[in-house]
Amino acid sequence: MKYMERVNTDILALVLAGIILCLSLLPKSAIPGDPHNDVLHHLLAYTTLTGAAIFRRQSLPGIFLILAAIVLYGGVIEIIQPMVGRVGSLRDFTINLAGASLGFVLTTVAKQVAKSV
């Protein structure tokens, strides 16, 4: 693994985390799209964030640490949301957890497929 490739995916993960934070703290009315797709938004956001964060990682303990940090990040955002006029929700946290888990599984499978090709 080249150092710059890992740095690029780390930068992508940080940018995605920033976008998730901004969108999570904006008023609901300021977010474009159908508000009923909220579940899909959470799932895609955390799947993508996790994939970017762990894609170039090799160490399983390191991957699980990143995964735990992403889940904690989603939880902290849900706790902060009521302070900015949004509603924190256990349902959203659970979907964030599912998205992070899905990102882990999809990225792990993609890495295995890439190794075998």
- Comparing 4 with 22, the larger pLDDT belongs to 22
In 1-117, where do the E strands start and end?
A: none
* Whether the predicted pLDDT of 116 surpasses 70: yes
Predicted confidence (pLDDT) per residue in 84-114, tens digit = 989 899 999 999 999 999 999 999 999 999 8
State the CB neighbour count (10 A cutoff) for residue 81.
16
The encoded tokens of residue 102 equal: 């899905």
CA dihedral in degrees (41, 77, 81, 16; nearest 10)? -50
Q: pLDDT tens-digit profile of 28-79?
A: 777 666 666 789 999 999 999 999 999 988 899 999 999 999 999 999 999 9
Alpha-helical runs (H) found in 32-59: 38-54
